[in-house]
Amino acid sequence: MQQDLVHAIKSNPKYHELVSKRSKFAWLLSFAMLGIYYGFILVVAFNKQILAQPLWEGSVATVGIPVGIGVILSAFALTGIYVFRANAEFDRLTSEIKEEVL
């Protein structure tokens, strides 16, 4: 019985659509995060002066602090984007697959 259910799910075209869409979206967000992170690291490695500039005249805080916070917050934002799409589109497709198979 279990094998029949697995076969029915895997042969459903909506399952393949779900897997494809979810995979493409996850890779897109992963590359975006890697680009943000490695971009920051490359600036630190090759052009420290940009991040070492004070935020305003006489400030102890530098440009690097808000940029670093932005890198961290971008990870939260990308996670939120994924969760929003997962709750909207991916859960809908999963429900449709379950209805058709069961």
Over residues 37-54, the pLDDT tens digits come to: 999 999 999 999 999 999
Residue 1 has pLDDT above 70, yes or no: no
Average pLDDT rounded to a whole number, residues 64-91: 96
Whose tokens are 């805080």? That residue is: 61
DSSP E strands, the chain: none
Residue 25 has pLDDT above 70, yes or no: yes
Q: Are 93 and 18 in contact (CB under 8 A)?
A: yes
Predicted local confidence at residue 2, as pLDDT: 87
Count the neighbouring beta carbons within 10 Å of the beta carbon of residue 65: 13
66: amino acid identity, one letter: P
Q: Are 101 and 9 in contact (CB under 8 A)?
A: yes
